[in-house]
Structure 1
Amino acid sequence: MKLSLLLDWRLHVLVVIVSLIAEVIGILQFPLGPGSLLLLPLFYAFIFCVLLNPHLFSDTAKWVPVQLSQAASPVILLSIMPFIALFGSTIGPAIEQLISAGPALILQELGNLGTMLFALPFAVLVLKMGRETIGATHSIAREPNIAIISDKYGLKGPEGIGVMGVYIVGTMFGTLWFALMAGYLASLDLFDPRALAMACGAGSGSMMAACSAALATVIPDRADELLAFAGASNLLTYATGLYVSLFIALPIAERFYRVLGGQRASMSVGAQATHEQTLAADALKEERPERQLGKTAIVVAVVCVVCWISNTVNGAPLLEALPGMAILYAMTMLGFIVTRVAPFYLPGVAWVSLVSILLTLPWTPGSGWIVEQLSAVNVLAIVTPVLAYAGLALTRREFSMFRQAGWKLVIISLLVFTGTYLGSTTVAQLLL
């Protein structure tokens, strides 16, 4: 995409305005049974921008042209990078605590198999779904999982429809669902907060961001510790998630499906196979940021400014937060440079995390000053613009597929996310 479109001032000013309004509204808490439901500024930002999205209501195109929605899509990944860098900066100082919790941190990854334990029986026995169940329930359906299903089954078949359905629901509502679950479970005081934080690392940067931000809000006195555990868990998932899905989760889903008496027949979701195929191709073939470092450096600078302004409401004044935001920018770009030159591939988010971890380890020269400067940046405030970009980036195809894919896939998607989070939390809790 052309740099001029990515830098369209209308897009970024709109995100700044929406983010500031969301931050001013602040955190709303509602009693719900024995716990409470937490609504965060990122929730309002997402909803506001969905309502402004020209693909949802054509009338809004007068104020928000379609090209702004198109530009928002590639900006999402870049806008979350300062947050990933901030996450890494909480892992470095807490390295000794993380090492002491090592077995729990590593083995809780197996709790991600809770996706199918929750969702697959309900899909087969209650909703009478076909083999789209396998694609839908073996994981939380992020880009690596789409690649696995595409390679093994193809995206035109029922398994491809299943994984794409969960992908769409996750894109639209996954971050919000993880934030709501984390905030509510933390308010119940049933689980060790560290276990809840570990479970946030499901392999999605935005889901982890919303989930851990909710925990940090509910338990502010342990915010840094919880962010460190969540970030370390997500880093492990990036490294191992693809292989766990391919060699463990998918074979188990196949066998479990047959044991439950699943049939070859597939439900009719009303969406054309080409829609799923095209969407997957868009997601998987998009040019990676590290391949165009000049353009990436400029766009990251812009989104850092957006986050910097959003931070003024519940974070620190502009001048006070300037060194911290500059450090996050430097960490992000250094991470992308390492991604470009590394002899093996890891996603940019993983390298950005590793760079910020190394720079904030207790024995790294100057780490104390770096951590002090970063304390002026509010974790929650720099996530809010990410969700604003996400709300604007939803395409007509995604809205159409969401409407057509059927209520069954929506229910299954939410069960998948719930199973992943509760499964990982439970395993971590037992090990801790």
Structure 2
Amino acid sequence: MTSVTRASPLDLLRLHVLVVILSLIAEWIGIIKIPLGVGTLLLLPLFYAFLLAIALNPHLSSQFHALVPPRLSDAASPLILIAIMPFIARFGSTIGPSIDQIISAGPALILQELGNLGTMLIALPFALLVLKMGRESIGATYSIAREPNIAIISDRYGLKGPEGIGVMGVYVVGTMFGTLWFALMAGFLGSAGWFDPRALAMACGVGSGSMVAACSGALAEAVPAMREELFAFAGASNLLTYATGLYVSLFIALPVAEWLYKRLSPKRQATASINPADADSATEAAAELRPEQQIGRTAMMLAAVCVVGWITNVISAGTLWGALPGMIILYVMSLIGLLITRAMPFYLPAIAWISLVSIVMTLPFFPGNAWVVAQLSQVNFLAIVTPVLAYAGFVLSKQEFSMFRRTGWKLVLVSLLVFTGTYLGSAVVAQILL
């Protein structure tokens, strides 16, 4: 990804101010509920923040270059992962107080990861038999196509082949619309009453950080009486996904995808609709710069995004000062997690360590846990997610817009089926085991 050093401190300040303004506008609009059959479609503030930021994105149109020059988009790139850290810490803080309920649901949490196979049961046959796609369907449908899944395909097939082009196509669609799609699914299914809300919360954990944030936030709005419990289960599920998801994808999902491909379309050739050069560009975008490798700079950027989240919180809280201690605690938790990530002799993503730190600090036996939980309760979940989606709207590059135009309707449709199959499959497995 492009380094933040390309932007001056003044440019970064402008970016943060723009994100604050867009987030406050989005929070002011609030949640719009649209009745849809047995359920309700929830349009959350994060949805508006994302769309507003895309509308201003300099790589989409030159109309707003005076306000948002391209270097601001480049500067936003490393901020996405950092901006999600306070939310992950807030997420983990719901797990500690609910540890007894989570332990009792242990088998469901562990095995719901197998629900990811729902991606292939829905999307792969459709891609092969209806859309007449070739081997790119394997890369496109074997997983939800986040960074670890891209690494698997890159190692096994290379990213210039059809399998690599398929996984990168779904990655781009997921970057642009996956978060919003997860939020819409969770809000609708949560209000429909077909699933145990806890099963839907566990299914939220299969996605990336922003997907988990949007999904669990929408679900909490659909079932507000279970808000804290749902966040706890989604957070625990996401933590387990880091531990098991890579191995499920490598040793179960990919072999099953190959087996299904051979049975359904043994002689079909690839019909990829993405330029391999664009796949290379998107691969570079997928390779996150590890924030723990430059603690000083990361600490400053983390402080900035925490201030942005704190200001955004004013719409829901009605006051700035009530959330200040909680935001400081989230900053400290995130920084501790980053330091642990850097010190460990083995690699585990920083957000996993941040989650563990926040869990430990809110366990019943941890000194002062009651005060910590009380302060964190003043920080609204969705208010600190909304700025993340604003940064995400600004960060989309010219290559990603280009690839999205090239993917055509086939990979867009397959991508949405992958997200739907992943979420529903995980929810069904969790529902059975609860």
CA–CA separation in structure 2 for the residues paired with 1:5 and 1:49 = 18
The equivalent position to 1:151 in structure 2, one of 143, 146, 155, is: 155
Q: Taking structure 1 as reference, are residues 320 and 293 closer, same or farther at Cα in structure 2, changes over 3 Å only?
A: same
What is aligned with 2:337? 335
CA–CA separation in structure 1 for the residues paired with 2:169 and 2:188 = 26
CA–CA separation in structure 2 for the residues paired with 1:428 and 1:70 = 40
Alignment deviations for residues 366-391 of structure 1 (CA, whole Å, 9 cap, x no partner): 11100000010000110000000000
Does residue 1:178 correspond to 2:182, yes or no? yes
The equivalent position to 2:250 in structure 1, one of 243, 246, 259, is: 246
Does residue 1:118 correspond to 2:135, yes or no? no
What is aligned with 1:133? 137
What is aligned with 1:212? 216
What is aligned with 1:393? 395
Does residue 1:46 correspond to 2:26, yes or no? no
SS at match of 1:406: helix
Q: Which stretch shifts more, 310-319 or 334-343?
A: 310-319
1:153 touches 1:160 (CA, 8 Å); kept in 2?
yes
Q: Which amino acid aligns with 1:421?
A: Y
The equivalent position to 1:107 in structure 2, one of 104, 111, 114, is: 111
1:6 touches 1:299 (CA, 8 Å); kept in 2?
no
The equivalent position to 1:235 in structure 2, one of 232, 235, 239, is: 239
Q: How does 1:358-369 map to 2 (within 5 A)?
A: 358-369=360-371
- 1:287 offset after TM fit, Å? 2.5
2:4 touches 2:78 (CA, 8 Å); kept in 1?
no
CA–CA separation in structure 1 for the residues paired with 2:318 and 2:100 = 29
Give the unaligned 5+ runs of structure 2.
none
SS at match of 2:35: strand
What is aligned with 2:195? 191
2:165 touches 2:272 (CA, 8 Å); kept in 1?
no
Q: How does 1:238-387 map to 2 (within 5 A)?
A: 238-269=242-273, 271-284=274-287, 286-387=288-389
Q: Taking structure 1 as reference, are residues 357 and 232 closer, same or farther at Cα in structure 2, changes over 3 Å only?
A: same
Alignment deviations for residues 198-237 of structure 1 (CA, whole Å, 9 cap, x no partner): 0001141110000000011111121110000000000000
CA–CA separation in structure 2 for the residues paired with 1:173 and 1:84 = 21
Q: How does 1:55-94 map to 2 (within 5 A)?
A: 55-94=59-98
SS at match of 1:30: strand
Q: Which amino acid aligns with 1:256?
A: L
2:134 touches 2:272 (CA, 8 Å); kept in 1?
no
CA–CA separation in structure 2 for the residues paired with 1:89 and 1:316 = 22
Q: Which amino acid aligns with 2:65?
A: A
What is aligned with 1:409? 411
Q: Which amino acid aligns with 1:177?
A: W
1:131 touches 1:263 (CA, 8 Å); kept in 2?
no
CA–CA separation in structure 1 for the residues paired with 2:409 and 2:310 = 39
1:75 touches 1:299 (CA, 8 Å); kept in 2?
yes
- 1:3 offset after TM fit, Å? 4.4
- 1:261 offset after TM fit, Å? 2.0
1:200 touches 1:211 (CA, 8 Å); kept in 2?
yes
Q: Which amino acid aligns with 2:47?
A: F
- 1:272 offset after TM fit, Å? 2.2
CA–CA separation in structure 1 for the residues paired with 2:205 and 2:54 = 26
Q: Which amino acid aligns with 2:407?
A: A
Give the unaligned 5+ runs of structure 1.
none
1:164 touches 1:280 (CA, 8 Å); kept in 2?
yes
SS at match of 2:155: helix
The equivalent position to 1:421 in structure 2, one of 385, 404, 423, is: 423
- 1:136 offset after TM fit, Å? 0.3
SS at match of 2:348: coil
- 1:197 offset after TM fit, Å? 0.2
TM-score normalised by the chain length of structure 1: 0.98
- 1:316 offset after TM fit, Å? 4.8
1:203 touches 1:238 (CA, 8 Å); kept in 2?
no
Q: Which amino acid aligns with 1:84?
A: I
- 1:6 offset after TM fit, Å? 7.2
SS at match of 1:36: strand
What is aligned with 1:98? 102
Q: Alpha carbon RMSD of aligned pairs, Å?
A: 1.1
**Dislocated runs of 4+, deviation >3 Å:** none
1:52 touches 1:60 (CA, 8 Å); kept in 2?
yes
CA–CA separation in structure 2 for the residues paired with 1:126 and 1:14 = 44
Q: Which amino acid aligns with 1:410?
A: V
SS at match of 1:202: coil
Matched residue count? 430
- 1:350 offset after TM fit, Å? 0.3
TM-score normalised by the chain length of structure 2: 0.97
Q: Which amino acid aligns with 1:237?
A: T
1:238 touches 1:350 (CA, 8 Å); kept in 2?
yes
Alignment deviations for residues 63-104 of structure 1 (CA, whole Å, 9 cap, x no partner): 110001111111011001000000000001000000011111
Q: Taking structure 1 as reference, are residues 328 and 194 closer, same or farther at Cα in structure 2, changes over 3 Å only?
A: same
CA–CA separation in structure 2 for the residues paired with 1:57 and 1:120 = 35
Does residue 1:164 correspond to 2:168, yes or no? yes
SS at match of 2:347: coil
SS at match of 2:363: coil
SS at match of 1:62: coil
CA–CA separation in structure 1 for the residues paired with 2:428 and 2:323 = 38
CA–CA separation in structure 1 for the residues paired with 2:54 and 2:60 = 7
CA–CA separation in structure 2 for the residues paired with 1:44 and 1:385 = 11
2:203 touches 2:423 (CA, 8 Å); kept in 1?
yes
